């Protein structure tokens, strides 16, 4: 009796999609200055500015979902500054954006939400713990992709200046790096862009 033929070998897996060295920065009004500065730090790369004033995490996700051009790029997600107390929503929107990336593209960065220099978001304020617990949750969910930019900015305080020293005690971004209660000035945006570059370079992306 003839032996049964051996089953056909499975086809080899498809090669991973080619990855792009370019960077897409998704966020709200804090993002455009950072994207502009990051582009200057990477003159050989394109940097897409996906920042729109006043948008919540859900608004940013809707734009990201409609965009098909940047899913194989390095993606930076900086969500939540306009719905910062809606932790569950922010987590869900970031997770949905990560899921939209091209298959095999794990080159993304989730940045922490920055608390405002206001009574509610200063250390001990009504919303302070909510924001810190959200950031702790993001760090636990994306340990290899999380960048705690909030703490990095706070640590840049020049404590020889009384206002920066007070901001440091309140655990908020120092006045020397912002022009109002939340928005970063040129120096603050440069601090963020330089930290992003170090993160990206360390990953070899």
pLDDT tens readout for residues 79-117: 999 999 999 999 999 999 999 999 999 999 999 999 999
Q: Which regions of 78-129 does DSSP assign to beta strands (E)?
A: 108-111
HSE at residue 168, side-chain half, CA atoms within 13 A, is 13
| Confidence category of residue 19, pLDDT binned at 50, 70, 90 | confident
pTM of the model: 0.91
């Amino acid at each position: 009796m003839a032996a049964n033929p051996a089953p056909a070998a499975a086809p080899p897996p498809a090669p991973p999609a080619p990855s792009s060295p370019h960077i897409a920065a998704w966020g709200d009004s804090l993002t455009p200055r950072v994207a502009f500065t990051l582009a200057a730090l990477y003159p050989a790369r394109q940097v897409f500015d996906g920042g729109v004033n006043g948008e919540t995490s859900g608004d940013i996700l809707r734009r990201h979902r409609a965009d098909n051009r940047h899913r194989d790029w390095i993606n930076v997600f900086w969500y939540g500054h306009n719905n910062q107390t809606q932790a569950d929503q922010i987590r869900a929107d970031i997770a949905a954006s990560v899921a939209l990336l091209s298959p095999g593209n794990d080159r993304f960065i989730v940045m922490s939400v920055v608390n405002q220099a206001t009574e509610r978001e200063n250390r001990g304020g009504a919303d302070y713990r909510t924001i810190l617990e959200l950031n702790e949750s993001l760090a636990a969910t994306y340990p290899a992709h999380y960048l705690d930019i909030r703490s990095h900015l706070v640590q840049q305080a020049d404590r020889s200046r009384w206002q920066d020293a007070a901001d440091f005690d309140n655990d908020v971004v120092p006045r020397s790096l912002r022009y109002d209660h939340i928005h970063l000035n040129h120096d603050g945006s440069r601090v963020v862009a330089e930290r992003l570059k170090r993160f990206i370079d360390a990953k070899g992306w």
